[in-house]
Chain A
Amino acid sequence: MNRFDYVRAGTVEEAVQAVASGANARFIAGGTNLVDLMKYNVERPGRLVDITRLPLDRIEERDGALRIGALATNAAVAYDERVKDRYPVLSSAILAGATGQLRNAATTGGNLLQRTRCYYFYDEGTPCNKRLPGSGCGAIGGVNRIHAIFGTSDKCIATHPSDMCVALAALEATVRVTGPSGERTIPLAEFHRLPGDEPERDTTLSADEIVLSVDLPAEGFAGHYTYLKLRDRLSYAFALVSVAAVMELDGQTIKAARFALGGVAHKPWRNPEAEGLLLGKPATRETFAAAADRVVSEATPHSENGFKVELARRAIVRALEQAAAGTPQSQTDKRIA
């Protein structure tokens, strides 16, 4: 870990200025990822701008929907009554991740911006284009059973590790940010990016912008949803494959449906064509299998993660079944519904 300056920002404007002034500054809130990265010398910020005192921790009503402040902790969001009642898929996804201690510290904005868990990214002794552009990708041809099967490039096959963001993708949330050139709103689908030739860039956020809030749309799909996460142990492990699914039914006919996958790409992975296959169809296993097949037909697995293709296909089917039946996956009873 390197030496760094520390400043505490009193206002959003101060925070943005403190980061824009150079010195390779980083915002710090919960620090659950950044501090690890600093210990590993992956991040070597010259300055930490502490934003924990900014008034961004509220969860508020807004036009019949919810606005979640960037500093609302993961625990605060997951246990918020309005979130639990109206956006249960978000609550469930958050509770599927990390541990109670981490969720108490981690913030909504930090969760959006957390970095991959690719082993090579964290290990200075190995090549990684995301950590050190141009050094190569250790995971390609290496230990890659946890890596991406969609949207990879020959520079990077890392995944985005968030559970929360997978639910936000299914809900079609938006991210409100501000910076020197003013406030803007980014749809969640455009917030994270694919690695392409610039795997060092995880998101479309500029370095001098700050996340203000995550805005949920009015529709929360509280009747038909699930967050299904498959991993190498029953808690405190990142997803091999996860699926957030939301649905609206008219009798047994699918009126609306969306699903996003975690653990399989550099961003929460959606496939609008596959979702389109669900519309107007009966909520049956056959319908779900057709959508799942469409999604995995685009998979490009690597040496050790071929199993994720079949696992993703099966997980999509099961998640859609859970959502349609109104039997969402419990995050405490580990039996899969």
Chain B
Amino acid sequence: MASSPEPYFGTARSRVDGPAKVTGQAKYAGEFEARDLAHGYVVSSGITRGKIAVIDTAEAEAVPGVIKVLTHENRPRTAWLDYNYQDAVAPPGSPFRALYDDKIHFSGQPVALVVAEDFETARYAASLVKLSYEAEEPETDVARKRDLSYTPPMKRAGIKPPPKPWGDADAAFDGAPVKVQQEYRHAIEFHNPMEPHASTVIWEGDGRLTVYDKIQGVSNSQGYLTGVFGLKKDEVRVLNPYLGGGFGSGLRPQYQLFLAVMAARELERSVRVTLTRDQMFTFTHRPDVLQTVSLGAGPDGALQALRHDAVSGTSRYEDYQEVVVNWSAILYRCENVALTYKLTHLDLPTPGDMRAPGAVTGVFALETAMDELAYATGQDPIALRLKNYSERDQTEDKPFGSKELRACFAEGAERFGWSKRTPEPRSMREGKELVGWGMATGVWESLMQQSSAQATLTADGKLVVGNSTGDIGTGTYTILTQIAADALGLRMEDVTTKLGDTALAEAPVAGGSWTAASSGTAVMKACRTIANQVFTMARRMDHSPLANVDFDRVVFRDGRIAVADDPTRSVSLAEAMKAGGVDRVEATESAGPDSSHQKEFSAYTHSAIFAEVKIDEELGQVRVTRVVSAIAAGKVINPKTARSQILGGVVMGIGGALEEEAMLDHRLGRVMNHNLGEYHVPVHADIYDIDVIFVDEVDKANPMGVKGLGEIGIVGTMAAVANAVFHATGKRIRELPITIDKIIG
């Protein structure tokens, strides 16, 4: 198959799932119907730590329409070993088991499930469940548990621990002419996708289950359910065609799935459990991490010492880990480096991956510290970063497969007008507003996971491709359709992509920005296999125009196979299949990372973010009036959906910089602002111009040269905004979110 023109790859295409979503045809996990569907409502713990003394369900059970109230006292038995509860992305530890025993591990822990004929009855009866507790004093403040921090004894799969130190960071820091040493922190954030977590479990009558679960990859839910309930894989099919936002909250199966399946099996009946918005604050979250960054530099800003130390909160039952500190030594060249990452136990649910987990946290601290160093040495922030630019990933002592970060700086600065910036804080203003320009670097892993995909071409020229991963709103349906259409020379309208169904070829959860590379390559391979088969049929036709032509000399275009350098010689796919005596051609292929490339190169995406803030000098109101985000992420399959990914990341980053904050009452160990009225994420009024640039970057880690874009847009955005706030006001705020009180305080 000669390299054919690619009419779709690299072109802006609207979402193929867009019409279904905007017309309400797209169904989400909590919207599927079943005959005799029962409804479960979760009762949440009123305390944070301790145990249930008495749980009295009599009054709830007496309500007409209530079918059953499940508690730790009457729950059916499930698997015994922790191993059976560990899903594909679980950190080391003992995963939380709902209704397991009388112990309370976190505020809002599910303590009962009321199942009733309708949702309203279940909700009402839930308010009648009487609980009394033996409460213990909770500890939810990471700062008060800093001294009890520990290095996690077991590493979380896929998470690189900090590298061993090199040089002598402490001595070099002590001797450095210029020093920056500061502490950085951001508030606990909750993912808060628009769609609440929900599971609809359909009892198929013979013990088999069909489950619609809010998850970023149905295979993970299926694996979890087979482990916990001792089901065989063919006894539980999990589907989730659409996700109303995930951001990582749907990577692990959440407790509503466990409860809904438990109830369905107990009652031998279909059950749905949908969590309330308040209950969305009772599981995964971006943890509160205490960070110290110590930069020692020469008077010219060249780094001589780099220390990045982090202490993260985790639950008492799992050691959640993310990469927080390694970024410092990936981004900057330094001969004396020490990086540490520790955990401390809190009475909170286990934190989890939230869009660019760890990088959002660590890069905020690092890139704020670099801005401080720029001021301490009188350097332009971009010049300082270029001076310390790393051509090698020092954490693994490997070159980067590609790193066009210099182009990000240059093109981003040009678009933003950075050269017009006067560096002195408070030196730019417009009327009553101080104007600040700040910038930062972003970095995220470029990953690929073993994935399979299937493709079926029928004689009518229609192609169906797909696998079990999810489109979490990123545009996966669309880009896979583009890739498949290109591979067989079809129109996108003739290609249907199916996702989110364990009946399809297996693929991992959609996370880590790896889906475009992983599922994309697998779909491409499956389509190529089909192409090869159809080509063989075409060549064997009587008097075939393709006789004696090799596969690498043909192109697939407009539903035909043609000789690349003589398009007049061609056969249509339909003719070839007819001649071959088939009405369909199927293929399943799998693709994984290129291990020799991985051995040789480190793979990351990079970005440069420029932010303009306007701050009312007297009243402290901050407006982020302009952002330019320049991205180096290999080839872009679809500039339209890609841009949307970056826009979303930037918006979330602005939220993290200025608004997002789970406010805990540490006396109670409870998040107090557990709704979208009081837990603030940006609204339209908060968002002004966002300009996205994709710089050219050639990468060879996978055949398409793509790197993934779901997360890079948020990384560094918080630091860019915080640095702009400093430039505007002269006030360095190291604890996010930057609210009015911190500006005027």
A: residues with CB less than 8 A from B are 1-3, 39, 41, 117, 119-120, 122-126, 138, 141-143, 145, 230, 232-238, 240, 307, 310-311, 314-315, 317-318, 334-336
Contacts and interface: CB of A to CB of B under 8 A. Distances in A.
B498 interface: no
B620 A311 contact: yes
Contacts of A233: 658-659, 680, 682-683, 685-686
Given A125-B668, A142-B665, A318-B618, 20 more contacts: A39-B276, A119-B663, A120-B672, A123-B670, A124-B46, A126-B670, A142-B668, A232-B680, A232-B739, A233-B680, A235-B684, A236-B677, A237-B680, A307-B741, A307-B745, A311-B620, A311-B740, A314-B618, A315-B619, A318-B619
B619 A230 contact: yes
A11 to B, nearest CB: 30
Interface string B716-745: 000000000000000000000001110011
Contact of A145 (B433, B674, B741): B741
Given A143-B663, A233-B686, A307-B744, A125 B46 contact: yes
Interface string B667-703: 1101011110110101111100000000000000000
Contacts of B683: 233-236
Given A125-B670, A233-B658, A143 B619 contact: no
B136 to A, nearest CB: 16
A240 B740 contact: yes
8 contacts: A2-B127, A117-B677, A119-B678, A125-B46, A232-B680, A235-B683, A310-B744, A311-B619
A290 B684 CA distance: 37
Contacts of A2: 124, 127
A138 B667 CA distance: 10
A138 B664 CA distance: 12
A336 B664 CA distance: 31
Nearest to B681: A233
Contacts of B433: 335-336
Contacts of A1: 120, 123-124, 127
Contacts of B623: 234, 334-335
A142 B740 contact: no
B107 interface: yes
A299 to B, nearest CB: 15
Contacts of A315: 619
5 closest Cβ contacts across the A-B interface?
A307-B741, A235-B685, A125-B46, A119-B672, A234-B685
Secondary structure at the A interface, as helix, strand, loop or mixed, is: loop
Nearest to A120: B672
A143 B664 contact: yes
Interface string B118-156: 001001100100000000000000000000000000000
Contact of A235 (B616, B686, B744): B686
Interface residues of B, number: 43
Contacts of A335: 433, 614, 616, 623
A237 B698 CA distance: 45
A193 B153 CA distance: 58
B432 interface: yes
B687 to A, nearest CB: 9
B672 A143 contact: yes
Contacts of B672: 119-120, 123, 126, 142-143
Interface in B614-635: 614, 616, 618-621, 623
Contacts of A314: 618-619, 744
A109 to B, nearest CB: 21
Contacts of B745: 307
Contact of B616 (A141, A232, A336): A336
B621 A230 contact: yes
A232 B740 contact: yes
Nearest to B741: A307
Nearest to A314: B618
A97 to B, nearest CB: 12
B664 A311 contact: no
A142 B667 contact: yes
Contacts of B678: 117, 119
A65 B506 CA distance: 71
Interface in B475-499: none
Contacts of A3: 124
Given A232-B740, A233-B680, A334-B685, A138 B665 contact: yes
Nearest to A127: B668
B462 to A, nearest CB: 42
A175 to B, nearest CB: 26
Nearest to A119: B672
Contacts of B44: 125
Contacts of A39: 276
Given A145-B741, A235-B683, A119 B614 contact: no
B15 to A, nearest CB: 25
Given A41-B127, A335-B623, A230 B740 contact: yes
A336 B744 contact: no
A1 B125 CA distance: 9
Contacts of A232: 659, 680, 739-740
Contacts of A230: 619-621, 740
- Most chain-A Cβ atoms within 10 A of its Cβ — which of B124, B678, B683, B684? B678
A137 to B, nearest CB: 12
A144 to B, nearest CB: 10
Contacts of A119: 663, 672-673, 678
A41 B44 CA distance: 13
Contacts of A117: 677-678
A334 B684 CA distance: 12
Contacts of A311: 619-620, 740-741, 744
Contacts of B684: 235
A158 B33 CA distance: 43
A308 to B, nearest CB: 8
